[in-house]
Structure 1
Amino acid sequence: MKYTQLGRSGLTVSRLGLGTMNFGVHTPEPEAHAILDRAVDRGVNLVDTANTYGSRLGAGETEQIIGSWLAKDPARRDRIVLATKVYGMMGREPNAGRLSAIHIKKACEDSLRRLGTDHLDVLQVHHVDRRTPWDETWQALELLVAQGKVTYLGTSNFAGWHLTRAQEHALHRGGVRPVSEQSVYNLLERTVELEVLPACRNYGVGLLPYSPLHGGLLSGALRRAAAGGRTGLPKSARQLQHHRDAVAAYEKWCADLERAPAQVAVAWLLHQPGVTAPILGPRTVEQLEDGLGALRISLDGDRLKELDALFPGPKGPAPEAYAW
């Protein structure tokens, strides 16, 4: 395993993170525990989850699965960087979601209880809340840090100007600044290159890309379909039809390179400046092992240019991408 710092912080994290969104939904608890065991054995220390993950509203099922795994061996807690998120609805009550101070406080306490720990290494704001004043949200987050319940703060699904606002607001207050941003980023979805990535690099924020395989489209979807296998969710199947030519060319390119498409897609992210750790979301131990193989792939400048030709991005940061 390779390691790096999370943004400008002194926190060391593995170059690949373990995403747990499938735990409790597609992956039963015993298999989820096996994935966690294998990930830690292979040197993965960044474990990413969210309070909304799971199959039942408000149950925090995925956090409970991680908590039961930690309870089996208390020494495991010090071996991982545990990150969860706050924003999504955890019930039907009016204050059961979003980023009000009352919800942030309760959501953090509930996550700590489900995870069976006294602190979160990273608490990430899962989305922007356009109706709660930023002062209220950030004061509540800073209080959790002051209380020792949270060590680092992060964001997720923020636009470039949201990232800038968060950083400048924290600087103005002389308080805690976010050290990470989690955004969708892959060969097929490169919008973050316009403003999110430049903002992250400017403020020393580590980017944690999620959906590195774009719902499975970049993991050999056409090859699986030809073999009568699973192509993914209905949304992924529709997108596959839209991107069929590019995906077909990509799978041939990977075959010529003698590398698995899923591994190449993750490796490409690892070569992008500003990316800290792509988040893998395996349903099985085998998928985890396949994803970890990305660390063994090195793409030179010519290879990266070939991938850019297959999946053109926005041609640079804003405003140069669309203006003189």
Structure 2
Amino acid sequence: MRRTRLGRAGLSVSRLCVGTMNFGWQIPETESHAVLDRATEMGIDFVDTANMYGDEGGGLTETIIGNWFAASGRRDRTVLATKVYAPMGDGPNDRGLSARNIVASCEASLRRLRTEWIDVYQMHHVDRETSWEEVWQAMETLTLQGKIRYAGSSNFAGWHLARAQAVADRRNFLGVVSEQCKYNLLTRHVELEVLPAASELGIGILPYSPLHFGALSGALRKEREGAGGRSVLHAPERVEPHRAAISRYEELCTDIGLDPVTVALAWLLSRPGVTAPVIGPRSAGQLDLAVAAVETELDAATLQALDAIFPPVGNGGPGPEAWAW
């Protein structure tokens, strides 16, 4: 398994990250542990979760991961990321990025995860009601207490990253080292400003939904074969609006002799600034095609063909050139 640094941080991570949103929701604990066991065997040591994952009230997925740490003894060998922001209770202070909720949510995550520290503590969304001074005060406190090692973000706009980092710099705090954003061949909006901002600031990109909820996993082939899976489940919403493009995509994958899953992930891994796509396997076997992407280098002709099938936003590339001269 190839490795890289997480943005400008010294932290070394695998080029793939295991996303765990399916744990406790789509798959039970035993299968969730099997996915983590197999990922570890394949050299993937980067695991992402969130306090809200797993059940209606949240917390179940973190508990499943914590049980795996206790049973496997692999906490020290795992780079663990989780998130804070979403409502975790009925109270007005049980959500958002107030100092109170950041610290309380971190304590709760540590208990569920059965660990003493979180490697990357990510803000799951922007909190427009809380100042960056307050957010960084809480993150600094947790860092000094040894409860988190780095801070990350998710679903931020480019200017949010710039603003957050400017305040962190004034406080002599490391600030944001990673941004987890929705990014795939069908969803390329982040190329306009998020990716350029992250590159300038030394922030590593962790693309989530790299297969667009299964639409890029061979959805039309599975549909013809009557196979189940997430892509078929979401076909009307995720596949139908892009049927023509996905059909051309699957034909291209057949022509070059690669599975659509491998091609979609290999494309992301070729993009500047991308640290590790966050994959969401529902079985240990699904990891094989993902891992193959790490060793797959798409040639210039294939990359050009993918741009033709899935055009970037506007003129392509970063703003303002993407929409102006």
TM-score bucket of the superposed structures, by smaller chain: over 0.9
Deviations 1:100-155 (A, max 9, x none): 11111110000000000111011000000111122111211111111110001100
Instruction: Establish whether residue 304 from structure 1 lines up as the match of residue 297 from structure 2.
Output: no
Equivalent-residue separation in structure 2 for 1:230 and 1:20 (angstroms): 20
Equivalent-residue separation in structure 2 for 1:243 and 1:151 (angstroms): 41
- SS of the residue corresponding to residue 90 of structure 2 reads coil
Aligned ranges 1:1-324 → 2 under 5 Å = 1-58=1-58, 60-74=59-73, 76-230=74-228, 232=230, 235-314=234-313, 315-324=316-325
Deviations 1:61-98 (A, max 9, x none): 00000000000133x01111010000011111111111
- SS of the residue corresponding to residue 179 of structure 1 reads strand
Equivalent-residue separation in structure 1 for 2:100 and 2:80 (angstroms): 23
TM-score (norm 2): 0.97
Does the CA contact (< 8 Å) of 2:85 and 2:123 recur in 1? Answer: yes
- SS of the residue corresponding to residue 151 of structure 1 reads strand
Identity of aligned residues (%): 56
Does the CA contact (< 8 Å) of 1:85 and 1:126 recur in 2? Answer: yes
Does the CA contact (< 8 Å) of 1:186 and 1:265 recur in 2? Answer: yes
Does the CA contact (< 8 Å) of 1:215 and 1:236 recur in 2? Answer: no
Structure 2: tracts of 5 or more residues without a match: none
Equivalent-residue separation in structure 1 for 2:159 and 2:235 (angstroms): 29
Amino acid at match of 2:271: Q
Equivalent-residue separation in structure 1 for 2:235 and 2:131 (angstroms): 36
Does the CA contact (< 8 Å) of 1:127 and 1:158 recur in 2? Answer: yes
TM-score (norm 1): 0.97
RMSD of Structure 2 on Structure 1 (CA):
1.1
Number of equivalenced pairs = 322
Amino acid at match of 1:319: P
Deviations 1:248-283 (A, max 9, x none): 000000001111001100000000010000011001
Equivalent-residue separation in structure 2 for 1:39 and 1:240 (angstroms): 28
Shift of 1:232: 3.0
Shift of 1:235: 4.7
Equivalent-residue separation in structure 2 for 1:77 and 1:231 (angstroms): 31
Structure 1: tracts of 5 or more residues without a match: none
Does the CA contact (< 8 Å) of 2:212 and 2:238 recur in 1? Answer: no
Amino acid at match of 1:143: T
Amino acid at match of 1:318: G
Equivalent-residue separation in structure 1 for 2:2 and 2:287 (angstroms): 16
Equivalent-residue separation in structure 2 for 1:237 and 1:41 (angstroms): 36
